[in-house]
Structure 1
Amino acid sequence: MPGPTPPVDPELASLADPGPLRGTPLLDDLRRDSAFLIEERRASVRGPAPDVPVLVCRPAEATGRLPVLLLPHGGGMDAGPARPHLAYYLRVARELNAAVVAVDHRSVPEHLFPVASEDCLTAVTWLSTCAHDLAVDADRVVLLGFGGAGALAGGLALRLRDRLGLRPLGQMLLSPMPDDRTGTATAARPAPPGVGAPRTNEDAWAHVLGGLRGAAGVPPYAAPARAEDLSGLPPTYLEVGALDVLRDEVVTCAQRVWAAGGDAELHVWAGAFHGFDFLAPAAALSRQARATRLDWLRRILVRG
């Protein structure tokens, strides 16, 4: 039987507003922010792979070849170039003097795995061939994803390691969904008020895997926790709330990276639920989490 649910941070609970997670900034709104140059491009490679729409965003005042924050979709297992959270990622990029490349992969459930993963792989390959034109440094790419996008980013790191022998500069996985086999102790606990129920996680995986969710043979490029070997990965930042249904599997992933001799930094925020800093950005815990991420990214970019 699962134990009691940890208490919710009172400030997070009082400030939480689901509106920011639902809001999707329009491109015209983003372009009106004169601090950034935002361009729609088509990522393409030789062969049968289709072109993939991407957004390329760089601080307007930046010069030279910039490091890249590469973003899959915005969370859950939905498509779209991370637009619900793009304003936040752009602020991070401005602080770091970095570019943002957001991948608009094909949508689920119309296109089940491996379509989204293949689209992200196309974007990475295209980025390396067009780096000079984009004024970015293809050797300084950090994969970054929240929720389902964290699973996609983690699977992409494995795919780059196995298929191309490439190692991004780092990967930042925020409350990622690493395992389609939902059923941990945290998933069995009732969700606190205002927090997504465990069933949401199961539905999200069924959305991208169809009837294969939880079955034998699901590839690690879809669910990174399925990987038998977690060695050779880039430095990894893992973050999750103590009340998040994903907590146990995220902690397990960090432990497995360490066991494989890898570099992982794990933060479990007491009193926090899934998406807490997007739902309550003004809360002290949210501000602390965002400052901690920024510090890690600075260290990774300097190291690169």
Structure 2
Amino acid sequence: MTDTLARPPFDPELEAVLGLLAESLPPSITPEMITLMRQAPIVASVDDLLVARGITRRDVTIPGHEGADIIVTVLAREGRTGTGPGIFHTHGGGMIIGDRFVGIAAIVDWIERFDAVCVTVEYRLAPEFPDPYPVEDCYAGLLWTAEHADELGIDPTRLIIAGASAGGGLAAGVSLLARDRGGPALAGQVLIYPMLDDRDASVSTRQIDGVGVWDRTSNVTGWGALLGDRRATGDVSIYAAPARATDLSGLPPAFIDCGSAEVFRDEDVAYASQIWADGGQAELHVWPGGFHGFDMMAPHAALSRSMTETRTNWVGRVLGA
């Protein structure tokens, strides 16, 4: 792809981190790299994190799309009793990699701060399980969470959905499914630099090409795995690519954030704008100089701390915590 445009500068502190990441992360992900990336070693065990933070874990097998078994994990503070907020989590990974614990550290913060219960879903990945498997698995997980709210200790009026990157796109797609299928009701949707548009037509996708953490080539790889030959055609559902939706009315309040120097910037801004145009509520933050996933990869950077605090404050307001 040769039509790369000049991009906004990276935040200096984050650019230094990118330089270090470049030693271990490829600039672009191509289809033949998917299997190898799935084999990459895990830096730290999620169980070590949970034990250190006093969080209990319970794995449950539930019916996913077309009744096949999938796993969800229920996370809560040790000794928690009573009823409180619920968080349904859809993980990131470009639709092609990752598991239900990717990005879970941020959710653990909310579990602690708001005494929430989190259900995180192991949806099946593309290309082995293309659309609609990922979004339908996630919707099945949300249905299970709502149906078991009492035993989980979740107040159904204080249940939100949250996801980052591909998980943000899935959270948006599930929110649309819940609207169009009459439930479950959601109090909010947290769309963290969400992956929303398969068409590869924005300015920001042309700006982030061969640079950063998730570039234009990687994005085409992810969407191609999910949609196959349907990518960028007229045969793509709004639940797979929520940017395709022309009516975003009737949705729960949305929080959307992203960096100014990432592929998803323009589609995320457009999604918030469409929600406002359709009479809905959205809070949008575009962090100057942020690359994709910078809050997870450089959590101690000043911009990351601001991003995380702003997002957490919104969650607290929506949950009434």
Give the TM-score of the pair, scaled to structure 2.
0.87
Which residue of 50, 56, 61 corresponds with 1:42?
61
Q: Is the 8 A contact 2:191 2:254 kept in 1?
A: yes
The percent of aligned pairs where both chains have the same amino acid is 37
Confirm or deny that 1:266 pairs with 2:284: yes
Confirm or deny that 1:300 pairs with 2:318: yes
CA distance in 1, matches of 2:17, 2:255: 26
Q: What's the offset of the Cα at 1:30?
A: 4.3
CA distance in 2, matches of 1:27, 1:282: 20
Q: Is the 8 A contact 1:49 1:122 kept in 2?
A: no
Give the 4+ runs in structure 1 shifted more than 6 A: 19-22
Confirm or deny that 1:94 pairs with 2:96: no
2:7 corresponds to: 5
Q: Is the 8 A contact 2:59 2:73 kept in 1?
A: yes
Number of equivalences: 302
SS in 2 for 1:202: helix
1:1-304 mapped onto 2 (5 Å cutoff): 4-16=6-18, 18=21, 23=42, 25-33=44-52, 35-44=54-63, 49-78=67-96, 80-191=98-209, 193-302=211-320
Distance 1:154 1:67, change over 3 A: same
CA distance in 2, matches of 1:251, 1:92: 25
Unpaired stretches in structure 1, ≥5 consecutive residues: none
My pick for the range that moved more, 107-116 or 149-158, is 107-116
Provide the alpha-carbon RMSD of the alignment.
2.4
Provide Cα deviations, 1:239-270, integer angstroms capped at 9, x if missing partner: 01000111111111111000000000000000
Q: What's the offset of the Cα at 1:28?
A: 3.9
CA distance in 2, matches of 1:297, 1:228: 26
Q: Is the 8 A contact 1:103 1:123 kept in 2?
A: yes
Q: What's the offset of the Cα at 1:197?
A: 2.2
My pick for the range that moved more, 160-169 or 196-205, is 160-169
2:31 corresponds to: none
CA distance in 2, matches of 1:191, 1:108: 22
In structure 1, give the amino acid aligned to 2:238: P
Q: What's the offset of the Cα at 1:293?
A: 0.5
SS in 2 for 1:11: helix
SS in 1 for 2:80: coil
Unpaired stretches in structure 2, ≥5 consecutive residues: 26-36
Q: Is the 8 A contact 1:9 1:272 kept in 2?
A: yes
In structure 1, give the amino acid aligned to 2:147: T
CA distance in 2, matches of 1:253, 1:208: 20
